[in-house]
Structure 1
Amino acid sequence: MACRALTACTSTASSGSADAAPAKAPTANESKAIADAEAAAGISPKPDATTQAKYIQALTRIDAEIVNGKPDKAVSRGRIQCSMIHNFPKGKAKQVHSAELRFISPNHPGGFGKAKAAQIVEAVHTYLCPKF
């Protein structure tokens, strides 16, 4: 029954009914609050285009399949990986293990192995969160 109720809610909201609330962009205060919360959690800010390009190139040099044609996803995973670097600055093994679990692809659903995961951590640290 719970599934039916959820399905009904989902289909009503997505059908464009008058009761559905329109999506709105976050206000400046909301955006700042999100950025502040991410910073407190150790999630790095989004990189500028030049930094992102260097980061993607670094990942591609490790293994092209890490990016797998999805640079935005690779950046998102890297920004979240920064939280491990931030929260466990002396925990290299934890950082590498986390990267091995986080950076996956269709042909590497279990990650790219410890050696490549360590290289991924270095690329993340170098380009996305060098201050940690």
Structure 2
Amino acid sequence: MNRRATTALLAAVIAAAGLTACGSDKDSSTDSKNTPPPAPTTAAAAPATPAPAAPAASAAARAGIPPKPDAVTQAVYIRALSAISPTLVGGKEDRAVSRGRDTCGTIHSFPNDHDKVVSITRQRFSGATQVTTEQAETILTVVQTHLCPKG
């Protein structure tokens, strides 16, 4: 047998073995109606929870990034940002909230360097329109008031 034919035959055998190993529960459940289904194992009975979410949430909390605010808090925060400048939100509320939460992390990371926090905030919230230093100071107050964890 040549090499191509051997490879094709081997692939067919492997595919057939894979199909045989992956039998369906449909056939076994219709064979015996008097037999109760097997009891679920502990792993199958456990509720499916995304394991990475908890470590990611705690990592964010350790970095000073708060969870997403509730709807009322978000609305008040968005109104306060829009009062500084409507371009800060620009119809993209989720982005404005994300930037605010990240700013909480910056405040947490640089607690003794206010000038650096102001500079990073200014860059983070600048978009089509550049944010002034005075606006960045006001943004920081709004973020700390509405989004950052107290304490």
Q: Which TM-score band applies after superposition, normalised by the shorter structure?
A: 0.7 to 0.9
Q: Give the deviation of 1:91 after TM superposition.
A: 2.0
C-alpha distance in structure 2 between counterparts of 1:47 and 1:28, whole Å: 21
**What is the RMSD of the two structures over their aligned residues, measured on CA atoms?**
1.6
Percent identity, please.
45
Q: Residue 101 in 1 paired to residue 120 in 2? A: no
Q: Which moved more, 1:90-99 or 1:45-54?
A: 90-99
1:92 alignment partner in structure 2: 114
Q: Residue 129 in 1 paired to residue 139 in 2? A: no
TM-score using structure 2 length: 0.64
Partner deviation per Cα, 1:73-130 (whole Å, 9 max, x = no partner):
0000111111111122232211110111000222x1xx31100011011111110004
- 5+ residue gaps, structure 1: 1-25
1:42 alignment partner in structure 2: 64
Please tell me whether Structure 1 or Structure 2 has the larger radius of gyration of its CA atoms.
Answer: 2
The equivalences for 1:1-132 within 5 A come to 27-106=49-128, 108=129, 111-131=130-150
Number of aligned pairs?
A: 104
Runs of 4+ in 1 over 4 A off after TM superposition: none
- 5+ residue gaps, structure 2: 1-47
C-alpha distance in structure 1 between counterparts of 2:149 and 2:83, whole Å: 19
Provide the secondary structure at the position in 2 that maps to 1:84: helix
Contact 1:96-1:117 within 8 A present in 2 as well = yes
1:125 is matched by which residue type in structure 2?
Answer: Q
Provide the secondary structure at the position in 2 that maps to 1:46: coil
